[in-house]
A and B are shown apart, each in its own frame.
Chain A
Amino acid sequence: MARKISILIVDDEESVRDSLYNWFIEDGYHVESAESAMKALKMLESESFDIVLADIKMPGMDGLEMLRRIKLLKAESIVIVMTAFATVDTAVQALKDGAFDYVTKPFDPDDLSHLIRNASKQITLAEENENLRSRVVTLESVEDLIGNSEAMKKVLKEIENVAQSNSSVVITGESGTGKELVARAIHANSPRRFFPMVSVHCGALTESLLESELFGHEKGAFTGAMYNRKGRFEMADNGTIFLDEIATISTKMQIDLLRVLESKRFTRVGGNKDISSDFRVICATNRDLKGLVEKGQFREDLFYRLNVVNIFVPPLRERIDDIPMLVEYFIKKYCTSMNKPPATIEATALKRLEEFNYPGNVRELENMIERAIVVGSGKKITMKDLPLEKTVVSNSIESLEDLEKEHILKILNKYSWNISRAAKALSIDRVTLYNKISKFGLKPAG
């Protein structure tokens, strides 16, 4: 799906602008022109061009100053400077300031074609690179969706069914069940997979930040808006937008979101240009959206717009059959990433893992295995490597940091706060142990 490369010609001479315009238009480019640097900068604030071809000598602001300002506005812009009075100094200065190339007027027709073709190739490669990166991230994440239980098979079947369509999807499930992984799997199996999947964690942002994040903003739209910025909807053009924790968005955002979903058109914050974007929406929440609608906390029209397909990801305690497979997968994953020899797990330890309640779901299991690989000494994960003994770990622990704190305290108590012995047992040096004690505020009991 090759798109048309856009070129902005900046030159104070009308004849030059006209000749370049005609030349490029015959080559099939989208071309616009400006007679001064100021006008060009104004145009660049509201519209983005792939290539800027600018004269150096212009009344008012010269081409070199304009080049610096364009680079401030968008560092990756491709600017080619041209002049009728070539000097080595200006050429060197232009290249130092980030110009893609430097040409002397008049050019040989072949040079001009080559120059623009090379610039276009660079733009195409950069775009392909970005798309492939996002695709690799997507595919890597889909590997994490592990499970052979009936509950998980049902989820995988639903993913397969929904992926080929364009319908909005709401993924529900407890925290840590892997809702984002399901979203990535849908995207990776959809016809949109060659385009980006853009994630937004709605719960982490205030209303105004979320607005700017989703719709983008124009330079000067608010304090700190120093540059034009594309919004997530714009970035997700031809791809998928994933809105996590959708239940947390404000009533105003619900109205704005509904409008965008209906028209697929919007304007950036502080802007007046209508932007259209073709994206698919996937939302996730750990709350009961229907219940929120009944309580009047979530708009009914938005709910029906989003909830075309609903996928429920079951909690880990309802699919204990998957635990051995998940454990094996996480052991392999962390041994590889930590450059450790392949480990296995003791049968009793695995049995204990299968009996656990997992309020933090798969994320909690993953953290346990990661911790066991970090603190475990041998090739086999045993009961003592897992934070499941007696009452050592409360079910509410979710983060690795909490687990680390608990484990250090346990070892310190075991060795009666003998720092040297405890450090040796933990396989860390004494200074590190002192730092950890200070960081976690640990004190001997009594």
Chain B
Amino acid sequence: MDFQNITLVSVGYIEEIYLKCVVEAAGKEFCLPVTIREGFIDITEFYDPTRRQYNGSKLLKEIDSLFASDNTKTIGLFSVDLFIPILTYIFGQAYLSGRSGIASYYRLSNERYGISGNNKIVIERFQKEVIHELGHTFGLVHCHMPACVMRSSTYVEDIDQKDANICSHCRSLLSETIPSLINLKT
């Protein structure tokens, strides 16, 4: 199936500059048109009071059922703390070779770790996270190349170490799903 576009669904308040930068980075990396829309979801239903976090697994299902379609890759963008039942937290999650994913910048800011804030760094990290989850929806698994955006990251330091780009190996795999990529990027 040839995927024609990427849709980013902004859920809750997300700063304009964050959205603009993420749209730009995703479009550039996948050579596909990116549209942005607002997602009106009552996220309180997904709040777990015992963990004081939002259930990422359920939110992913919700994004998939409300906004995803077969010729679009859809990523839900959040500003809240996400978890999945087995893990203490997640930055994002996606269905491998599926239609949708989610990503949150809640844990991407320096202030969470007692360091002074830096908006530029948060934006860079958020861009990498969104591209990473989109990669999963296109069928890419975690990559071992240190600089590849598809490398698994469990801490923000891991995100900082990698680039916002897909490595040549992952790109060659991706070009099977997105033929337009073949000649556009190396």
Contacts and interface: CB of A to CB of B under 8 A. Distances in A.
Interface string A2-38: 0000000000010110111011011110000000000
Contact of A20 (B86, B142, B154): B86
A108 interface: yes
B72 interface: no
Contacts of A274: none
Nearest to B97: A25
A26 B89 contact: no
B141 A28 contact: yes
Contacts of B96: 22, 25-26
Contacts of A28: 141-142
B84 interface: yes
A107 B85 CA distance: 9
Contacts of A20: 86
Contacts of A109: 87-90, 154
Contacts of B47: none
Contacts of B142: 26-28
Contacts of B57: 15, 18-19, 22
A20 B93 CA distance: 12
Interface in B137-163: 141-142, 152, 154-155
A19 B152 contact: no
Interface in A255-296: none
B94 interface: yes
B141 A26 contact: yes
A112 interface: yes
Contacts of B155: 110
A446 interface: no
B95 interface: yes
A33 B90 CA distance: 21
B87 A27 contact: no
A20 B57 CA distance: 11
A17 to B, nearest CB: 9
B83 interface: yes
Contact of B85 (A15, A25, A27, A113): A15
Contacts of B86: 16, 19-20, 23, 105-107, 112
A108 B94 contact: no
Contacts of A19: 57, 84-87
Nearest to A27: B142
Contacts of A16: 85-86
B152 A113 contact: yes
A231 B89 CA distance: 45
Interface residues of A, number: 20
Interface string B102-117: 0000000000000000
A110 B154 CA distance: 6
Given A15-B57, A22-B93, A27-B152, A108 B88 contact: yes
Contact of B88 (A22, A26, A106): A106
B154 A108 contact: yes
B136 interface: yes
Contacts of A15: 57, 84-85
A106 B95 contact: no
B56 to A, nearest CB: 8
B102 to A, nearest CB: 11
Contacts of B95: 22
A16 B84 CA distance: 8
B136 A26 contact: yes
Nearest to B94: A26
A369 B136 CA distance: 67
Interface in B4-53: none
Interface centre among A23, A27, A109 (most CB of B within 10 A): A109
A22 B61 CA distance: 12
Contacts of B136: 26
Contacts of B89: 109
Interface in B68-96: 83-90, 93-96
A257 B99 CA distance: 47
Contacts of A26: 94, 96, 136, 141-142, 152
Contacts of A106: 83, 85-88
B64 to A, nearest CB: 12
Interface core residue of B85, B96, B154 (most chain A CB under 10 Å): B85
Interface of B: 57, 83-90, 93-96, 136, 141-142, 152, 154-155
Given A105-B85, A108-B87, 12 more contacts: A13-B85, A19-B84, A19-B87, A22-B57, A22-B84, A22-B95, A22-B96, A23-B84, A28-B142, A106-B83, A107-B86, A110-B155
Closest 3 CB pairs of A and B: A28-B141, A19-B84, A110-B154
18 contacts: A15-B57, A15-B84, A18-B57, A19-B84, A19-B87, A22-B93, A22-B96, A23-B87, A27-B141, A27-B142, A28-B141, A28-B142, A105-B85, A105-B86, A107-B87, A107-B88, A109-B88, A112-B86
